[in-house]
Amino acid sequence: MTAATTTSPAVLATRRLGRTDMTITRVGFGAWAIGGPDWLFSWGAQDDAASIRAIRHAVERGVNWIDTAPIYGLGHSEDIVGRALAEMSADDRPYVFTKCGQVWDPQDRHTKFRVGKAESLRQEVEDSLKRLRVDVIDLYQMHRPAQDGTEIEDYWQTLVELKAEGKVRAIGLSNHDADQLRRAEAIGHVDSFQPGLSAIQREALEEDVPWCAAHDTGVIVYSPMQSGLLSGGFTQERVASLPADDWRSRDPNFTGEALRRNLAVAEAMKPIAAKHGVSPAAVAIAWTLAMPGVTGAIVGARSPQQVDGWLAAASLALDVDDMAAIARAIRTNEAGQGPIPA
């Protein structure tokens, strides 16, 4: 660790990621927001130096994996992660997970194309290796189903080959469904699956996560705080003040009646947080980690302070009463979609 380290690494709870040889902390650092401004799903302008400090701080506090993607800032997020990794010794470096299958027009930063052709995926892995400054990517995930006519069997075969060639250690699917997982599994084992999951977005609990549990496929979920809505820090007024270049200002979950319902669920998490002496954000994340079959949760941060706000989720065990209170808030307010675990 660098000379700037001031906090001894914590011992965080871990779980094995599927059948891989990787044992990961129950929370990982999410690098979507640090991609910066001026792209289709930007979170607005970011301070790159603060982002690097946040990554280093998370690792110093014991987090042992980072999740990013080329589309996050059109390479910028991967570059920032690579810069942070370059400051760490080989022994201190966390696992690095990234994705493929989404490319853009260099002349138009607000484009996004979902591709699955082998030549594109092979070029993408080389580009990611360079930006991340690593020799091997620990987990390589197809970001979304291809829309260029490439069947899942074909693009999954490419990932199987990249793993066999040693470019990546493990392979996974993100934002696919159980039928697609089954089709990929027939070609080669799906090491990991990444769905969106929160107390608001629960659809993956219907079939996808149970399929993974039955097939030794690790599950790392994203947006456990529903992009901040369940962090405890959002109000109607704060949402109204989001800048136009923040994608959340256009998202249905942040508008109208859905926003009211979602904030009601967030409000119900506050007394639970007070009971355990943690932040509401930690409660929202711990809710996802309580779901059978979930290995870990990806949590974004843009400063060391934000990391400290959610780190307690890694060891927070919600009790029966906590889960019932959250279920009651979801049901009473008819918030979100998907099964409502008791």
Three-state SS at 205: helix
Query: What are 304's strand-pairing partners?
Result: none
- Please work out, in degrees rounded to the nearest 5, the angle formed at the alpha carbon of residue 137 by the alpha carbons of 135 and 142: 145
CATH code (residue 176): 3.20.20.100
| Interval 14-32: pLDDT, tens | 999 999 999 999 999 999 9
* pLDDT range class, residue 9, cuts 50, 70, 90: low
Comparison of pLDDT for 37 and 187, the residue scoring more: 187
Strand duo 192-194 + 168-174: pairing: parallel
260 Cβ partners below 8 Å, 6+ apart?
236, 333
Whether the per-residue pLDDT at 233 is higher than 70: the answer is: yes
Q: Is 173 a residue whose pLDDT tops 80?
A: yes
In a domain, 87, yes or no: yes
Q: Tokens 């027939």 correspond to what residue?
A: 186
Residue 222 annotated to the active site: no
Q: Give the span between the Cα atoms of 59 and 283, in whole angstroms.
A: 21
CA angle 139, 141, 142 (to 5 degrees): 165
Above 90 in pLDDT, residue 250? no
Across the chain, mean pLDDT equals 93
Distance CA(209)–CA(283), nearest Å, equals 20
CB 57 within 8 A of CB 98: no
Query: What does the pLDDT read at residue 334?
Result: 94
Tokens of 208: 């996808």
Domain count for the chain: 1
Asked if residue 342 is part of any domain, the answer here is: no
Please say whether the beta carbons of 60 and 9 come within 8 A: yes
Residue 210 falls within a domain, yes or no? yes
The domain of 77 spans 24-333
Phi, psi values for residue 161, rounded to 5° = -70, -40
pLDDT of 238: 80
Overall pTM surpassing 0.75 (yes/no): yes
Residue 301 in domain = yes
Q: Which residue shows structure tokens 């052709």? A: 117
Q: Assess if residue 78 is contained within a domain.
A: yes
Tell whether 75 is covered by a domain.
yes
* Long-range pairs of 123-131 with CB within 8 A, sequence gap ≥ 24: 124/70, 124/100, 125/100, 125/162, 125/167, 125/168, 127/70, 127/75, 128/70, 128/78, 128/98, 128/100, 129/167, 131/70, 131/75, 131/78, 131/79, 131/81, 131/82
* Spatial CA neighbour of 285 closest among 3, 7, 6, 12: 12
- Residue 7 is assigned to a structural domain of this protein: no
**Residue 8, in any domain of the structure:** no
**Torsion from C-alpha of 259, 260, 265, 269, nearest 10 degrees:** 100
Banded pLDDT at 1 (limits 50, 70, 90) = very low
101/111 Cα distance (integer angstroms): 13
- Confidence at residue 4, expressed as pLDDT on a 0 to 100 scale: 36
Question: Which residues, other chains included, contact 324 with Cβ-Cβ below 8 Å and sequence gap of 6+?
Answer: 342
pLDDT of 210 > 90? The answer is: yes
**Catalytically annotated residue among 72, 140, 155, 222:** 72
Range with the poorest average pLDDT among 116-120, 171-175, 242-246, 287-291: 242-246
pLDDT digits (tens, 9 = 90+) for 281-300: 999 999 999 999 999 999 99
pLDDT reported for residue 10: 62
pLDDT in tens, 106-159: 999 999 999 999 999 999 999 999 999 999 999 999 999 999 999 999 999 999
